[in-house]
Amino acid sequence: MSGRLTSRSPRTPFRPGRLRAAALGTALATVLVPALSACGGDASTAGGSSTLKWASSYFPAHWDPVVSGSGAQFRELALVYASLTRTDATGKAVPDLAKSWEYNAKGDQITFHLRPNLKFSDGEPVDGAAVKAAIVRAQKQKNSALFGDLTSIKSVDASGLDAVLHLSQVDYQIPQLLGERVLQIASPKAAQSPTKLDQNPVGAGPFTVTQIVPGTKVLLKKNPDYWDAKDIHIDNVELTSAPDAATVVSGLQTGVYNFADIAPSQAEAAKKAGLDVFVQPGFNAANLSLNVNKAPFNNDKVVDAVRYGINRQEFVDKLTFGYGSATNQPFPKGYVAYDPQSANDYAYDPAKAKQLLSEAGYKAGQIKLSLVIPAEDPQAEIVQAQLAKVGITVSIKVDKNWATPFFAKDLTFSLYGTTGRDSAAQTLTAHFGPNGPLNLSSPYEPSGFEAAIAKVRQTPLDSPDYTKVLQAATRAGLQSKALVFTYSSPNLIAKSKSISALPRNPAHIDWTGVTIDSN
């Protein structure tokens, strides 16, 4: 622009100094304007639209919810897909696509009533048939990661906006179960080609996908047909696979992102950078997975030695930077399913661990274990050091293909960290059930667990006995010799101050009512 002014003004003589200044100005403008635009934190909102720029550590590899499963990446998929229910700040199931539901008197049939006039982003109606198709697909699709979660559902009848679920047992957990984690509902038309759906998601959630770069980035825009679109105040979303943990805070500072899940070690840096650090309540719990079908864990005394040899507080002190807490259960303290009666079971006692090993006939150093993990993890090094103190030698083996032998129950000793489930019964069965995916010792299950979990299913969630029954099931599950729980750490999210506070839904990111200040 400056070049044009100087060259076209007939009254302005060409003076070399002014020409140089103009040229310099033009060059600086050419270089700096795009650069500063790219770096500016509010560039995305300059046009009056609000953009969420989310650096995600759980960037989905699969966009078909049936394939993606009920792991932590459900939060990213929930941008696109809605579910029958969702959870509120107390963790209780509340309406989402279903406006209401009711059980029959016996408790083995539940009818969901869907909201009227809803459609998927491809124009297909959201109705009972779509719900039925989603459940059947989750139960039968060859690569489904959800079939184990839906064993209570025998069949589904669809009638207009109603979906009637016939259950194989009395199960009052179904509204908790069919939330964002387990039954995100895709368009049945799009789901006819699961391979295509896996990279081109079509749901009825708050956003629709405009572009996907597999494994790297996804661009989304607000879905005007979402049932609660009036409460979604974000126009666009740029979901990016998070870079190295150490650089996420820099990305937030420079405006490359305005929202990111961060490691506890980065929380202090985020605070110093003037970012909001949101401590999201959740159900995360880490554990040591033991296979009691293989030596030496087929000896109960060796299992108990490991249980007593683990100092949980060391995990908290070294890994959570003040945000975590020790737990010997698959839940953090304070959660409804956390059993206070079991809180002090297997407290750290290295002397007792040594004694148990001796009673089992093992001398110090005689037991040599291979701890197989998917990636380098300080937890493994802590386990190695702690068990070395009681006389068990652990070598750490990083196996990039860890998932295959772990879920095939071929490993002897490993680590796992659950992000929990909305249904506490589902969390318990996943860990302690005979076919639980997180039970490395399948088909082993602790005695009394099956009866205890059946009682949980049979107890309505609003029953005064529910907490007592649920904690009893936890207590029964904790008799399992296959798992040693260590610590719990909440999800930490760093965000720009331009993003308003998030609802404190446990483990969920709820965008309802969230605003991004365009100024």
Partner 1 sequence: MVRRVLSLTSGRIALVILTVIALLAVLGPLIAPDNPLATSSDTLAEASGAHWLGTDYLGRDVLSRLLDGSRVSVLGSLEVALTALGVGAIPGILSVYFGRVFEWVTLRLTDTLVALPFLLFAVAVVALLGNGITQAMLVTGVLVSPLFYRVSRAATLAVAQSPYVEAALISGASIGWVVRRHVWVKVLPPIAVALAQTIGVGFVIVSTLTFLGIGVQPPAPTWGGLLASDLGYLTQKPWAPLVPALLIMVTVWACNLFADAIRDVSGEAGRALVNNRKARANRLADTDSAAHGDPAHVHAGGA
List residues near partner 1 by CB under 8 A. Answer: 244-246, 249, 263, 265-266, 268-269, 272, 314, 317-318, 375-376, 378, 380-382, 384-385, 395-398, 400
User: Of 111, 233, 104, nearest to 170 (Cα)?
Assistant: 104
Strand partners, 417: 286
One-letter amino acid at 169 equals Q
Of the pair 386, 427, the CB lying nearest partner 1 is at: 386
For residue 380, the minimal CB distance to partner 1 (Å) is 7
Tokens 């303290």 sit at which residue? 333
Of the pair 388, 469, the CB lying nearest partner 1 is at: 388
In 3-state terms the chain splits into helix, strand, coil percentages (rounded to 5) of 35, 20, 45
Of the pair 268, 465, the CB lying nearest partner 1 is at: 268
Instruction: Please provide residue 369's backbone torsions phi and psi, each rounded to the nearest 5 degrees.
Output: -120, 150
Q: Which residues contact 514 (CB under 8 A, 6 or more apart)?
A: 233, 234, 499, 500, 501, 502, 503
Length of the chain: 519
Give the three-state DSSP class for 137.
helix
Whether the CA torsion 494, 491, 375, 53 is positive or negative: it is negative
Instruction: Please provide residue 421's backbone torsions phi and psi, each rounded to the nearest 5 degrees.
Output: -135, 155
User: Of 186, 128, 124, nearest to 158 (Cα)?
Assistant: 128
Assess contact for 225 and 45: CB atoms under 8 A. no
Of the pair 102, 244, the CB lying nearest partner 1 is at: 244
Tokens 């709820």 sit at which residue? 510
Cα–Cα distance between 459 and 446 in angstroms, integer?
A: 21
For residue 160, the minimal CB distance to partner 1 (Å) is 53
Strand partners, 395: 370
For residue 172, the minimal CB distance to partner 1 (Å) is 44
Of the pair 166, 397, the CB lying nearest partner 1 is at: 397
For residue 399, the minimal CB distance to partner 1 (Å) is 8
Of the pair 36, 398, the CB lying nearest partner 1 is at: 398
Of the pair 298, 384, the CB lying nearest partner 1 is at: 384
Of the pair 97, 390, the CB lying nearest partner 1 is at: 390
Both tokens of 480, joined, read 């399992």
Instruction: Please provide residue 517's backbone torsions phi and psi, each rounded to the nearest 5 degrees.
Output: -70, 120
E strand residue ranges, 117-189: 153-159, 162-167
